[in-house]
Structure 1
Amino acid sequence: MPKLTKSVVDKSLPRESQYTIWCSELKGFGAFILPSGTRTYFVDYRNANNVRRRMKLGRHGTVTAEQARTLAIQALAEVAKGNDPLENRNSARKAITVKELCEHYIKELEEGRILGKGGRPKKASTKVTDLGRINRHIIPLIGKVQVTHLTKADVTAMMKDIMAGKTRLSEKTTKLRGRSVVRGGYGAASRTVGLLGGILSYARDELGIIEINPAHGVRKPKDAVRTRRLNEDEYRALGRILKDAALDDRYTRTTEIIQLLALTGCRRAEIIEVRWSEIDSAGSAFRLDDTKEGQSVRPIGLPVLEYFDERRSEGTEGESLYAFPGRDDEKAFGSFPRHWEKIFQDTELKDVTAHVLRHSFASIANDLGFTEITIAALLGHASGSITSRYVHTLDAALVMAADTVSGYIQALMDGAELSHTHYALDRGSRKAALARFLAPRSDVPEKEVGKERLAA
C-alpha cells in the first residue's frame, strides 16, 4: 500500500467492478476507481457518534493528489475537534441560493457533465440558450431565494413575471454592432420553467439538497403553435426575391443556403454547418453527424443533389471541411442572420423565418399526400427515430418523396403554376402509372424488361 500520489492513481487501471486504493501515509485517505475509469479521492473517518462516514474530496484531474491530501488532513482535523465535516458540508450545500445552485449547474454544464437528449452532453447551442435563460430570467427573479425554501408558488410567480415581460431588456453586447434582446412572453416562460425543473432535479438527484422538486406540477402556459407556412404565390415570391438578391455578389451564397432550406426542410444550422463528408451523393442523402436528434440520415431530392454535384465539379470540395465555409475555412459561414435580414427587409416575406421554410416543406409534403412517417423521415424528426433504418430499407421510396417535394417547391420558386393531387386518392393517376409500369417495351431485350420496370 504505497503513498497515494498522482502516478499511483494514474497507474490504477479500471476493473470490472469498483475498487479502492489507500494511502500508506495518511490513514483514511484513499481513492476509488470505477469501471468507467473515473477516479475519485475520499477520506474515511468516524464521527463523534462512532458512525463511519466517507466524504468525497474531488475527482482525479479536477483536483490533484496533493490537493486532495490537504483536504483530507483538514477534514480529519475537524473530526479531532468533534465536528462532522461531511454533515457540515451537506448543511452548507442545503443553505445555497438558487443563484449559487445555477452557478454550480453552469460549471457542470460547461464541463459536459449535464446530459441532454439521448443521454448525450448538451450541444453548444443548447448551452448558450440555457445560459441566457438562467442569467436573464431565473437569477434576476428568484436568484436570492434559498433552494430549500423555494416553493411551487415561487416558481409560478417567476413564470408569470416572465410572461408579463418583467425581465424584458435590450442591451449592447461585446460583439461589434451586437445587441441582446430579451422579450419574455409565454414561450420563454414555459421553457424557462422547464429548464429550472431540470436544474432542481440536478439539485435533488446529484447534490441531495432537496427531496421534492418544486417546479414539478407547475401548470405552464401552452406555447404558441407556429402555423405560418408559405402558400404557392409566396413560394413564387421567394424565388423572385432570391433571384434579385443573388445579383449582389455579397448575397450569392446566402441565397443558395436559403434555397436549400426551402428544398430540404432542414434546420438552419444543419445546412449552414453541413460538411462535404456528410453529403452522400450516391445515396442521395445527408448523413449528418450531429443534429438536435443526434446522428440523422435525410434523403435529399434531385435539385439539391444536382446543386452539390455542380459545386463538386467546380472543385470547391476539399477547400474546407464545410460546404459553406466562412472567411476562415475552418469555420462555417457566419454572415447568414445579417444577410437574411437584408434580403427580406421591405419585402412581402419579411416575417418569414428559417422555421417557416421547414414547416412549409412539411406542409407541401402533406399536400402531396405523403404520410406522417415519411414526412418525419424527410425532416429528421425525433418522432421518426426509425429514420436511419427506414432510409436503408425503403430508401427508393424516401428518395422519391424527397424528389417530389423538392421538385414541386423548386418549380414554384421558378414561377410555375402547378396543380397537384393526393396520389393515394387519385385512382386515374394510379391506373395510368401501373399501366406504364406493366407495359412491355418492344425496344428492350426481354431480360432487361425487369430492370426497366424497376427503374420506372
Structure 2
Amino acid sequence: MARLTKRVVEAASASGKDAFLWDDEISGFGVRVFTSGKRSYLIQYRVGERTRRKTIGSHGVWTAETARTEAKILLGKVAHGEDPVDDELRASLTVADICDRYLTEGLATAKEGSIKQAKANIENHIKPLLGKTLVTRLTRSEVQAMMRDIAAGKTAKVEKLGPRSVSRVRGGKGTANRAVNTLSAALTLAVDDGLRPENPAMKVKKYPGKKLERFLSPEELVRLGGVLTAAEAIGVENPYAIAAVRLLILTGCRKNEILKLKREWIDTYHRCLRLPDSKTGAKVVHLGEPALRLVASLAQVEGNPHLLPGRGEGTHVTNLDKVWRRLSKSAELENVRIHDLRHSFASMGANNGDSLPVIGALLGHRSTKTTQRYAHLADYPVRSAADRIATRIADYLDILPDIDADAAEPAEVGILSIAPTADELESGPDPVLGKAIRTKWLDARAAAAFLGNTVGTLQTYRWMGTGPEFTKIGRRVVYSRDSLILWRDAGSVETTKVPDLRRQFFADH
C-alpha cells in the first residue's frame, strides 16, 4: 500500500486479471487497474455484512487528488449510515420502475379488481407517455400534459388478441383522471423513500367528474316489473339473469355481489346474506321479505354452489350487461345502468324517511361521505314536519278551505307495494316486483288464439299501427291479457276489415 499519486497510479499494471491499489492514508480509497490498461478510482465499504464498491471516475478525467477529495465525501456519508451505491441506483429510477414497484408492493393487499385497473392504467397510458422519465426529475407540468394527452385519445388503440378477440384501449377525461390517480399513488412510494420531497401528481387539477345518480321512478319500476315477467313467461331470457336483476333492485347490492353469490352465504334464519368479501370487505346484507321469497324460489342446480348458476359446470351468470340492455330498452328506461338499480334502492329508502346511516349500513358503505349523495332525497321527515306545523297554524288562523275528503286527490304518487299478502304467503314463493308483474303475458300465437284471429292478423295490426297494445322483449312480441281484453271489449277494428285496410294502405302509398 502507498499513497495514491499520479505517478503511482500510472506506473501500476495488471496481468491476467484486474488489480487494485489501496491508499494508505484513507481506508477504502483505491484505484482499479484493468487488464486493458484503463484505470478508475473507487471506494470500498461495508453495509451490514455486505461489501460494496462505488466507482468515482476514470483516471485522466479525475486526478488522484480530486478523487481523494470525493472519496472523503462519500466515505463520510457511509460513516453517517448512508449507502452511496443505493442512492445512485434510487436516483436512476424511472417512472416505469416506480410503477412496477407499486404493483408489487403498494398493491400487495389490494383486491384483484384494483390491481387489474391499476395495471391497465400503467401499461396503457402512464408508461407510454412518462415511463422513461426519471422519478427525481418528473414535474407537475409533465403529469398535466400526460392527462391532457390521455383525454385527447393519444394512447387509445385497438389490439387483436385472437381470431375473434380484440382489446380496445380508450382515452377520455375519465380515463385521464384515473391514470393520474394511479400515478399519484405510485409516486407516494418515491416520496416515502426520500427520492422526492413531494408528489407532483397530488395537486394536478383533474377534469370534473360526472356523478351519475339515476334513480328509477315508481312508474319506471312498474314498467320494468312488467317486462321482467313477460321475459320470464315466454322464455326469451335466462331466468337466472332475470332473477339477478330482481335481486339487485330488491337488495341494493353490487352486481358481482349478486352474480357470485353462493347458497352457503345465505342465512335464512337471520334473513341476510353473509358475504365473505366485497368491495369494502366482508359484510352482511339484510334481506326484505320479497328478496327472501325470490331466493327461496330459485331452483338449485346439483353440484353448482351458486344461487344463480351459469351454463357451464360450477359457473355463475356472468354476462348480465347484454340482458340488461334488452330489458331496459323494452321497459323504455333511458340512460339506466345496472348500477343505477343500487341507487334506486337507496333513493327509495331516503324518500321513505330512512336515515343516511341506515342507508349506508344497508349498502355496505365504508365511508359516510359515499352515502351523502342521497342527502338531498332524505328530506321526507322535514317536509312532513313542515306540513304538520303549517297545517296546525293555518287551522288556528282559519285560512284552510273546506275540502271534501272523498273528492280529494292524493298529493303524491305512491309506489305499488311489493309486500306480499297473506294469501300470497300461503301459496308459496312468488318472486315479484310490484303488482304490475302479476300481469298475464301471451306471445303472438297465444294472443291470436285468445282473440280468435291469426298470427298474420296481429302482425298486420302492428304494421298498420293499430291493434292491441304490445311490448317487444328482444325480438319477441308479447301482449298482456288485460290489453287484449280491452281491445276485444272495445269493439275495435274487426279482423275481417284487415285485408281492406291493407289494400287501402297500398293504394295510398
In structure 2, do the counterparts of structure 1 residues 243 and 410 end up closer, same or farther at CA, with 3 Å as the change threshold?
closer
Provide Cα deviations, 1:387-438, integer angstroms capped at 9, x if missing partner: 9xxxxxxxxxxxxxxxx9974992266389xxxxxxxxxxxxxxxxxxxxxx
Deviation, structure 1 residue 226: 1.2
Query: Aligned AA for 2:178?
Result: R
Partner of 1:248: 235
Deviation, structure 1 residue 208: 4.2
Pick aligned residue for 2:91 from 90, 94, 97: 94
> Which SS does the other structure have where 1:287 is aligned?
strand
Partner of 1:53: 47
1:9-408 map, 5 Å: 48=29, 52-54=46-48, 86-106=83-103, 108=104, 114-115=107-108, 121-174=109-162, 176-185=164-173, 187-205=174-192, 207-246=193-232, 247-248=234-235, 250-311=237-298, 314-316=299-301, 319-345=303-329, 348-349=332-333, 351-383=335-367, 407=419
Contact 1:364 1:405 in 2 (8 A): no
In structure 2, do the counterparts of structure 1 residues 334 and 143 end up closer, same or farther at CA, with 3 Å as the change threshold?
same
2-structure distance, mates of 1:366, 1:92: 56
In structure 2, do the counterparts of structure 1 residues 374 and 413 end up closer, same or farther at CA, with 3 Å as the change threshold?
farther
1-structure distance, mates of 2:153, 2:343: 28
Provide Cα deviations, 1:92-119, integer angstroms capped at 9, x if missing partner: 232122123223333x06xxx625xxxx
Deviation, structure 1 residue 50: 8.1
Provide Cα deviations, 1:320-345, integer angstroms capped at 9, x if missing partner: 23222334444433232343344445
TM-score (norm 2): 0.56
Contact 2:417 2:435 in 1 (8 A): no
1-structure distance, mates of 2:88, 2:328: 57
2-structure distance, mates of 1:128, 1:267: 18
Query: Aligned AA for 1:220?
Result: K
Deviation, structure 1 residue 300: 1.0
Query: Aligned AA for 1:87?
Result: P
Query: Aligned AA for 1:288?
Result: L
Query: Aligned AA for 1:410?
Result: L
Contact 1:173 1:180 in 2 (8 A): no
Deviation, structure 1 residue 148: 1.0
1-structure distance, mates of 2:155, 2:347: 35
In structure 2, do the counterparts of structure 1 residues 250 and 228 end up closer, same or farther at CA, with 3 Å as the change threshold?
closer
Contact 2:304 2:313 in 1 (8 A): yes
In structure 2, do the counterparts of structure 1 residues 213 and 376 end up closer, same or farther at CA, with 3 Å as the change threshold?
same
> Which SS does the other structure have where 2:228 is aligned?
helix
Contact 1:235 1:412 in 2 (8 A): no
2-structure distance, mates of 1:242, 1:180: 32
Provide Cα deviations, 1:167-208, integer angstroms capped at 9, x if missing partner: 3444444594454351422x3332222211110012332x54
Report sequence identity in percent. 30
Deviation, structure 1 residue 88: 2.8
Pick aligned residue for 1:414 from 433, 437, 446: 437
Shift >6 Å, 4+ stretches:
81-85
Deviation, structure 1 residue 273: 0.8
In structure 2, do the counterparts of structure 1 residues 376 and 289 end up closer, same or farther at CA, with 3 Å as the change threshold?
same
Contact 2:227 2:330 in 1 (8 A): no
Partner of 2:61: none
Partner of 2:387: none
RMSD (Å) for aligned C-alpha atoms: 3.5
In structure 2, do the counterparts of structure 1 residues 170 and 356 end up closer, same or farther at CA, with 3 Å as the change threshold?
farther
In structure 2, do the counterparts of structure 1 residues 54 and 341 end up closer, same or farther at CA, with 3 Å as the change threshold?
farther
1-structure distance, mates of 2:207, 2:277: 31
2-structure distance, mates of 1:347, 1:144: 51
Contact 1:361 1:405 in 2 (8 A): no
Contact 2:223 2:331 in 1 (8 A): no
Query: Aligned AA for 1:53?
Result: V
2-structure distance, mates of 1:175, 1:347: 35
Deviation, structure 1 residue 382: 1.0
Contact 1:302 1:407 in 2 (8 A): yes
Identify unmatched segments of 5+ residues in structure 2. Answer: 1-26, 30-42, 58-70, 372-415, 421-431, 440-509
Q: Number of aligned residue pairs: give it.
A: 321
1-structure distance, mates of 2:278, 2:162: 28
Identify unmatched segments of 5+ residues in structure 1. Answer: 1-45, 56-71, 116-120, 388-403, 417-456
Provide Cα deviations, 1:56-113, integer angstroms capped at 9, x if missing partner: xxxxxxxxxxxxxxxx6xx55779x99999533432232122123223333x06xxx6
> Which SS does the other structure have where 2:282 is aligned?
strand
Query: Aligned AA for 2:309?
Result: P
> Which SS does the other structure have where 1:414 is aligned?
helix
Deviation, structure 1 residue 231: 1.2
Contact 2:126 2:179 in 1 (8 A): yes
TM-score (norm 1): 0.62
> Which SS does the other structure have where 2:208 is aligned?
coil
1-structure distance, mates of 2:264, 2:314: 14
